[in-house]
Structure 1
Amino acid sequence: MRLLLIGFPEEEVQRILKETGIPVIPVPEHFKGLKVREILERTCEKAGIWTDRKFVIMHGVDNETLKRVISIVRGISRERVIFATTTETSLEWPLERLLHELIQEDEYFRAMREAKKQVPRGPYLDLGIGKG
């Protein structure tokens, strides 16, 4: 079980480590060309902030741990954070590709939430569909 942290200041990295109890890898910019699997095998003490977004990529966590990590990170970081878990496919991708995919997904889901807000809510016309 590990957490890859991207875009977090050192103070937040240390708080996430302390509050989750899960080993963290603050990812430096020069790792972005490495496969995610390779990064998980490394250690790094400090990374610096090299992206304008924050990412938490969770590896080997169960659903309860995932929920707990999300709650802890949201309590620590004031900025928006993109969360993800690793998959067999994403482990083989260079980190830069994974981050690009995560940004695209995040923008898509944000647009979908915004579009839902634009749809007028009830009362709806009862068309009697499914009634005998």
Structure 2
Amino acid sequence: MILVIGFEQEGVSRVKNALSEFDVYEVPEYCRDWIVEEVVAKAPTFEGSGNWHWKKFLIMHDLSNEEVTRVIKVVRSQGISPIFATTTPTSLTWKLEDLLNELIREDEYFRKLREEKQKMKSFYLDIGKS
């Protein structure tokens, strides 16, 4: 199962078409205070748009490592760059909004880490050129 949040309708359609072998559900805003396990359980009954968050999220539940890798590649090939996540036993006990906030924090941390790594790489390359 794949949960999408923050996608415009066109993006949701592209994800659903590209990942037709998976159940893809938009998570509406009224679920933001729900426990993630409840969101997962009730996802097939959701109605309404999931385009309520300023960030895009694609949360995978109960997918194998191979499926997760494939989903990420396929979605990125569509020119879509959400925050990707998989559910864990711990995250299933969190409120959805708390999980999304944590995913944003983690995403910002790893972006900064990649930027610093790039800076260091170019720093060392510059030294060698003198």
Q: Which bin holds the TM-score, normalised by the shorter protein?
A: 0.7 to 0.9
Structure 1 outlier segments of 4+, above 3 Å: none
- Contact 1:32 1:94 (8 Å CA) reproduced: yes
SS at match of 2:83: strand
- Contact 1:10 1:46 (8 Å CA) reproduced: no
Paired residue type of 1:24: V
1:75-86 aligned within 5 A:
75-78=77-80, 80-86=81-87
- Contact 2:18 2:75 (8 Å CA) reproduced: no
Give the corresponding residue for 1:10: 9
**Aligned residue pairs: how many?**
122
**CA shift for structure 1 position 77:** 4.1
**CA shift for structure 1 position 24:** 1.3
- Contact 1:35 1:94 (8 Å CA) reproduced: yes
Give the corresponding residue for 2:32: 32
SS at match of 2:37: helix
Paired residue type of 1:25: Y
Distance in 1 separating the partners of 2:36 and 2:84: 15
Q: Let me know the Cα RMSD of the aligned residues.
A: 1.7
Paired residue type of 2:54: D
Distance in 1 separating the partners of 2:35 and 2:79: 26
Distance in 1 separating the partners of 2:10 and 2:85: 22
**CA shift for structure 1 position 25:** 1.6
Relative to total residues, which structure has the larger helix share, 1 or 2? Answer: 2
SS at match of 1:121: helix
Percent of counterpart pairs with the same letter? 44
Query: TM-score, normalization: structure 2?
Result: 0.85
Change (3 A) 1:66 1:59: same
SS at match of 1:41: helix
Structure 2: give runs of 5+ residues left out of the alignment: none
SS at match of 1:88: coil
Query: TM-score, normalization: structure 1?
Result: 0.84
Paired residue type of 1:47: S
Distance in 1 separating the partners of 2:103 and 2:50: 20
Give the corresponding residue for 1:121: 124
Distance in 2 separating the partners of 1:81 and 1:109: 14
Highest Rg: 1 or 2? 1
